[in-house]
Structure 1
Amino acid sequence: MTGLFITLEGGEGAGKSTQARLLAECLRAQGHDVDLTREPGGTPGAEALRELLLFGGYGLSARAEVMAHFAARTDHVEQRIAPMLARGGVVICDRFTDSTEAYQGYGLSHGDPAMLGLIATLRGLIPVVPDLTFMLEVPPAVAQARLAGRGDGRTDRYEAEGAAFHARVAGGFDAIARRDATRCRRIDASGTTQDVQQALRDIVTPLLPHA
């Protein structure tokens, strides 16, 4: 793999999708070959699994849910991410394996060691690892205000969870950032969109391949 793999992580309302889009637009304008994608999703099959996981309402068991996320991820990596990296491009992905650990491992399973172990095992089967992960962090009140202001009328099952769940998710992201401090860069995302974006660009620029 010769490209650059960047992921954006964080809880609901942290601004990941907006920041990922702006970063992709900036790098494309500079002449870089950039693929902006998301998880769960990124391929037709993975997008179908996304619909099931976020809006299906079927109440999968915890292990089944984790495996479904990794099934979507495997298809995404094999069909889209790995080929792009192999040809030297930049991949910017809104969520990746860290979200599964934070949401399913810590949020839904309360940090159960067996579940975290399963996630670690499945993560080891994924042949790509992000070169850089931005952990976008905002206070709960900011996140709630942003979610309330979206106005798209469609709330996924994770957004609908209560404050205790989101606190566990935040704790999971904190644990990941501490464990993988070299890969993960913590970003205070409570400022303006422009300020947050500039912070991301300042970190990314030295890592970029030549355009």
Structure 2
Amino acid sequence: MPDRDAVSYSIMIVGTAMLDMYAKCGSMINSYKVIEGMKNPGLISCNAVVAGFVRNGLFEEGIVLFNQFRKFGLVLDMYSSLLDLDAAAKIFDEMECKDVINWTTMIGLLIDLECAAYALELFSRMRDSGISHDTVVIMNLISACAIIGDLKRRRKVQAQAVVCGFGSELTLVNSLTAMYSKCGDLNSSITVFDQISQKSLVSWTAMILGYAQNGHPREALNLLVEDLKLD
């Protein structure tokens, strides 16, 4: 069976091409019908149809559509991908109903810009608002702790991951391995790494880098050799 994500992506590409074609031909009604029929239009499709309205002189309609997309966080995604913190923060603050994806997008942007303290502060606001966090949020918190080297908070994050049932997820455990290494706590990094039953390439790489970053090149080399033997 074909991969569902691949099929959805192909449908989005075809749909975007169609609505763009209609827009270039001046048929904005058909262009809008195409995006209405798309279950998950995505940022590229939304930008294409808004640009089509503007290109055809329908500025007011384009603005209305832009505001509709903003309600669903698509504009927030756009500014986040551009690393435009001021614009993203403005859109985020204006959103009346924020879901976990909106919060995660904003926290992720702050992490990308290495504004770790603000990311942690935003997480507190998210928690106070009653939004349940997912593994992506936890991983962002782990990254924030690694950036600022907060040893006390990082253990709270790990405990929180376990309580929420995310403690055994490989991507999260790999992030914990890397985080402890970056914070200089090599022993905790080793402990987490040793508890991984089925290690991935990312797991091995995180631990090898951990040894190297903390002044243990021989151990890093030995672990690399062990990894190569397992392959």
| TM-score, length basis structure 2 | 0.29
Q: Which has the larger radius of gyration?
A: 2
Higher relative contact order (CA 8 A, sep 6+): 1
What is the TM-score normalised by the length of structure 1? 0.31
Flag the structure with higher strand content: 1
More helix by share: 2
